[in-house]
Structures are given as structure tokens and as C-alpha cells.
Structure 1
Amino acid sequence: MKLIKNLLVMKYICTDNSTISIIKKTFRFLKLLTISAVIISCDFKENLVDVKIVDPVRHYYPIVQGQELNIIVELQNKSDYPFKITDILTSCGCVVLKKGTFDVIPAQSTGFVELTYNSNKNIGLVNHFIYFYGNLNKVDKLETNFDVHVVPDALYTP
């Protein structure tokens, strides 16, 4: 008999909706308060930067067809925020970004982007452009270009 009374009392305690409801409402309120504090503390605006390319127009010495040319572009970030490179586009598929090149240049510093030009498919004067996109302040992209004379191998006979 005591066992049945105890079970009925336990059932009453477990089904007491007012206590459980208060606890659930408190947790919901704390969760909402935490989420709103996180959202309010986040800075969603993108900080724009002033970046310039050192020596944006380059003229290289002639190379033999099939030779690779290493191109190192120096980017100077003169602002107080990091420059986040979102995209690098080239005017030809023969200019390829080297593996391991980073995509963020810290504030008030200089970064280097390494590219490789493969001259297998070109002969004569070659002029290519490289475009850098990111959180730039006054322009939508940075542009650099280079030219090189690709000469055929001396053993080449048409």
C-alpha cells in the first residue's frame, strides 16, 4: 500500500507542470539572451583597406619557349585592417598561382603572391594581366601586368 502511495506522489511530482514550465521558460530566456548577446557583439561590416602593388607594370627579359617564369607580386597593405584576397584572376591559363600562397595580408605589412608563367603555348611578345579582388576601399580590383618575349628554341625548324 505504501508503495502505491509513493508512486502516486512521484507521479504528482513529475507531472507538476508549473515547476517544469518555469524551468523551461528560464532556459529559453537564457538561450535567447545568449544568442542576442553574441549577435550584438559581432561586427558584420567589412573593413575596407588601401592596398597598392609595388611595380605593377613589369617587363621581363626574353625566355626560351617551354621555360617557366616565376612572378612574385608584392602587395603593400597601408591600412589598419587585414586585406582579405577573395579572388585572383589571370588573363591566361598559363599563369598559375603557386600552392601555399596565402590569402590574407595583415594590417600595415607587405605580402607576396607567387605565380608561375608557362611559356609552352606562346611565341613572340606576350602580355598578361593579373587581377586581385578583396576588401578594397577605393577600387574594385588591383591590376598588374607583365610582358615577356618568348623565343623559339634554336633547334626548332618549321
Structure 2
Amino acid sequence: PCRRENPHVVAAYNKFKNENFKNGNGFVVYNVSLDHNAEKWKGAIVKDKLDWKYHVSDLRGWKSEPAKKYGVNSIPANFLIDGNGVIVARNLRGSKLETKLEELVKKNEFKEIEKQLLEIEKKLDELKDLDDYKNQSKSITKIKSKIEKSRLSISKLKEEVEQVQ
């Protein structure tokens, strides 16, 4: 059952490993195996491309201490723990893991505003092809100037926010 879930965990890991979250930075996977056979366990790590650095097993199967400690009575089991050590979700399967991680990602409002400004600028550049562009060029120049001023303001705000954090 765990092997079927691994592609979802791998996809989530690759997507979120470098993200900043509301309560922590990066998505780290700490893999605890309930295997008995070390060779099969290590082979699955390679075959399933579980590229994170934390893989542990005492090779005691269901008698494993972590399984007892966390009340694992079926597999796969997972615990999503935030940067404060709080379990924020359990046993997320398939796309539910990515969905929950998306919820927990710290949104960068500045990046969103910059993206919108870039889109506006692109649309203004597309107007060059229109016959009416020459008549509107002064207005377009003013708009582009305002966009640049907005970028400078965003940059200053970003610096202030970073100093506060």
C-alpha cells in the first residue's frame, strides 16, 4: 500500500521542498519504514525515487517503536507536522497532501502584485500594433511610469516587511 502512495509523496516533496510555509520553511519527509527486510526496504527507496534524506527503520515491522508511539495501525500512515511541531493533518492520500500543503504555503502578496504589473505592461506593449497607438502613446507612457513607481514602492515595502520579520 505504501508503494502506491509514494508517487504522490514524491510529487508533493518535489513541489514543496523549498517553499516557505506559514509555520516553517521547506517540506521535509521523514520516512519511517515498517519493513523487516533491509534489502527490500532500501531497494524500494531507490526504485520509488524517494530522494529525501531521512529514511529510518528498526526492521521490527509492526513492533516498531515509532509505530507504537504514534498509534500507527494501518499503512501507509502520515503526519503533517508544522514548524512548531504541531500535527496539522494525518493520513492525507493522493492529491489531498498537495492540497493541504497549498493551504499552508505562505502567500507572497508582493510577488502576486508584481505579476499583475507585468501582465499590464505586456498588454500595453501589445497595443503598439494598433493604429490608435500613436494617439494614445502619452497615456501609455504615463501608465508605464506609474507601473515603475509601483515597482519601486513594492520593493521598499518588501524591505520594510523583511526588517520587521
TM bracket, shorter-chain basis: under 0.3
Q: How does the TM-score come out when normalised to structure 2?
A: 0.24
> Looking at CA atoms only, which structure, 1 or 2, has the larger radius of gyration?
1
